[in-house]
Amino acid sequence: MCGIVGVFGHSAVSSVIYESLSMLQHRGQDAAGIATCFEDRFYLEKGNGLLTDVFDPENMARLLGDMGVGHVRYPTAGCSSVAEAQPFYVNSPYGIIFAHNGNLTNVSEIVDNIFQRDMRHLNTSSDSEVMLNVLAHAMARRGAVKPKEIDIFASVEEVHRRCKGGYAVIAMVAGVGMIAFRDLYGIRPLVFGTRGHGKDAEYMIASESVALQMSGFDLDHDLAPGEVIFIDMAGTVHRHVSPQAHEKTPCIFEFVYLARPDSVLDGASVYQCRINMGTKLAEKIKREWAHLPIDVVVPIPSTSRIAAQEIATRLNLPYRDALVRNRYVGRTFIMPGQAQRRQSIRRKLNPIPSVFKGKNVLLVDDSIVRGTTIKEIIAMVWEQGANKVYVCSAAPPVRFPNVYGIDMPARSELIASGRNVQELAKEIGADELIFQDLEDLKQAISDVSPGLTHFDTAIFDGVYVTGDITEEYLNTLERKRNDTAKHTEDVTSHITRNLTAHI
Ligand code: PIN
């Protein structure tokens, strides 16, 4: 998962991009980059770390121009080289800057063609570079010296044809303008906003609406599946939808956890969706678990707070923020390994004993992925002398890998994979474990944005909307994951960053 932003303005844009990226920092803390364009020259600054690690007044001052693109990268196992920090650049044709969020599912097939047929070179193992080269090749083949919207749309249609998967892209072409597009299913989010009117109008494209809000841009619309926006150098906005576009199926996990609660995605306030997730869970508890003698509702911070408050209200129970988060340990440098991971959870969240002692506690989390966090927290809660520990999750169990750009563990690392709910409860040490039903989760979002009825729910039900995910693909992914994890474990067995930042 990554965050992207593009600004087409009428004055220097670097600080606007920086501010907007800061609102997207939750989408990636591993690397950050900004590229701007001034008189057909690109200026690019990028590096590993948070925005505050990468940018200072000196390099910000080098980012000249009224048009620019920014990127924050999520840590992906085995990929933390600065060469893979974005935006990317190719000099031909025209000069293209490219920022991408998502993942391609047919990379190996395209890579062969890029070398053998298109005769283009790739210098990283990033699928973003693959996509950039597909776009560059398509634009070169059009052969237009001054490409017009018809050339841009045809080129992106070719990208849509060749690149399978979930993605959102913002690109800048020297002397031509800014291009943004979303995959054919609208899996990864992308919003378009405006500031000012007429000749003064400025435009921003971003992963989430909070980025627009920060800099005073009004949300115009979420890009439709397969939609392409092209802003030419005169500031005229051209829109087009690739004919292969499918019905919109945004990634449901954006609403559960990835996106900020103050964002509105595909017409749905993420905050209201999370409240509704709490409502649905409370209804389920009333329906099926009314016999549980719950004394207190405690969220596992931070995301689950919104749902937990709603559950407490609906069940008429006290809500207590009894796991206190230390906000300064997010990026500690520690040794990896299970023992260290456990220690890092305890460093991050500390219990208030009096809330737990002798109580029947309902812990609320947004999701259970690897299960390491919840397991450790349950152990902590037992140590405080709790009488019963019940757990509920605002999302159903995560049983399948994500192939559309969320860095999720392989199947073998997913605690719910191959376990039923009883086995899971036992494994994590809970007396009872209650999961949101998938239909309720979808409904929680549809209730906020009635037009939104279909989602990418593959991590919960194994249905991959792009239709190209085979068992063989998942097995290869699993092998790669395990190799990378092993490699990462080897490389980081010295001193390294705390990897528990992963989902
Ligand atoms: C944490 C949100 N949330 C907590 C992310 C952990 C799964 N994990 C998904 C639970 S916060 S695990 O809101 O960002 O603080 O199951 O893989 O251990």
pLDDT tens-digit readout, 377-430: 999 999 999 999 999 999 999 999 999 999 887 898 999 999 999 999 999 999
Q: What is the mean pLDDT of residues 338-355?
A: 87
Count of CB atoms situated within 10 Å of the CB of 292: 15
pLDDT higher than threshold 80 for residue 340: no
pLDDT of res. 483: 61
Of the chain, the percentage scoring pLDDT greater than 70 comes to: 92
CATH number of 272-327+335-447: 3.40.50.2020
Query: What band does 278 get if pLDDT is binned at 50, 70 and 90?
Result: very high
pLDDT higher than threshold 50 for residue 502: no
- How far is CA 25 from its chain centroid? 10
Q: CA separation (Å) from 497 to 48, 50, 121, 337? A: 12, 13, 32, 12
Residue 193 dihedral angles phi and psi, to the nearest 5°: -135, 160
pLDDT of res. 494: 34
pLDDT higher than threshold 70 for residue 192: yes
Query: How many Å lie between the centroid of ligand 1 and the Cα of residue 141?
Result: 45
Question: Start-end ranges of CATH 3.40.50.2020 in the chain?
Answer: 272-327+335-447
CB of residue 302 inside a 6 A radius of ligand 1: yes
CB of residue 372 inside a 6 A radius of ligand 1: yes
Instruction: From the candidates 2, 37, 163, 251, give the one annotated as an active-site residue.
Output: 2
pLDDT higher than threshold 80 for residue 499: no
How far from each other are the two terminal CA atoms of the chain, in whole angstroms?
10
**Looking at this protein, which amino acid is placed at residue 123?**
N
pLDDT of res. 497: 36
pLDDT of res. 125: 81
Query: What band does 80 get if pLDDT is binned at 50, 70 and 90?
Result: low
Encode pLDDT of 238-251 as tens digits. Answer: 999 999 999 999 99
Q: Closest residue (by CA) to atom 10 of ligand 1?
A: 367
pLDDT of res. 498: 34
pLDDT of res. 258: 97
pLDDT of res. 218: 98
Query: How many Å lie between the centroid of ligand 1 and the Cα of residue 398?
Result: 12
Question: Start-end ranges of CATH 3.60.20.10 in the chain?
Answer: 2-248
pLDDT higher than threshold 60 for residue 496: no
Q: Which atom of ligand 1 is least distant from the CA of 398?
A: 16
Q: Which atom of ligand 1 is least distant from the CA of 302?
A: 13
Question: Which residues touch 327 (CB under 8 Å, ≥6 apart)?
Answer: none
**Class at the top of the CATH hierarchy for domain 2-248:** alpha beta
Q: Which atom of ligand 1 is least distant from the CA of 502?
A: 17
CB of residue 373 inside a 6 A radius of ligand 1: yes
Buried b (16+ CB within 10 A) or exposed e, 435-444: bbebebbbbb
pLDDT of res. 352: 98
Query: How many Å lie between the centroid of ligand 1 and the Cα of residue 11?
Result: 40
Q: Which atom of ligand 1 is least distant from the CA of 372?
A: 18
- Most confident of the ranges 109-118, 305-314, 470-479: 305-314
Encode pLDDT of 37-66 as tens digits. Answer: 999 999 999 999 999 999 999 999 999 999
349-351 and 323-325: which strand pairing? antiparallel
Q: What is the mean pLDDT of residues 106-129?
A: 88
Q: Are 353 and 323 in contact (CB under 8 A)?
A: no
Tell the residue number behind the tokens 């016999």, with chain if given.
291
pLDDT higher than threshold 50 for residue 351: yes
CB of residue 371 inside a 6 A radius of ligand 1: yes
pLDDT higher than threshold 50 for residue 161: yes
CB of residue 365 inside a 6 A radius of ligand 1: yes
Q: Closest residue (by CA) to atom 11 of ligand 1?
A: 302
Q: Closest residue (by CA) to atom 2 of ligand 1?
A: 303
Tell me, yes or no, if 2 is annotated catalytic: yes
Query: How many Å lie between the centroid of ligand 1 and the Cα of residue 26?
Result: 13
Judged by average pLDDT, the poorest of 137-146, 165-174, 330-339 is 330-339
Q: Are 3 and 27 in contact (CB under 8 A)?
A: yes
Question: Which residues touch 165 (CB under 8 Å, ≥6 apart)?
Answer: 102, 103, 104, 105, 106, 127, 183, 187, 403, 404, 405, 466
Query: How many Å lie between the centroid of ligand 1 and the Cα of residue 300?
Result: 8
Query: How many Å lie between the centroid of ligand 1 and the Cα of residue 503?
Result: 6
CB of residue 301 inside a 6 A radius of ligand 1: yes
Q: Which atom of ligand 1 is least distant from the CA of 373?
A: 18
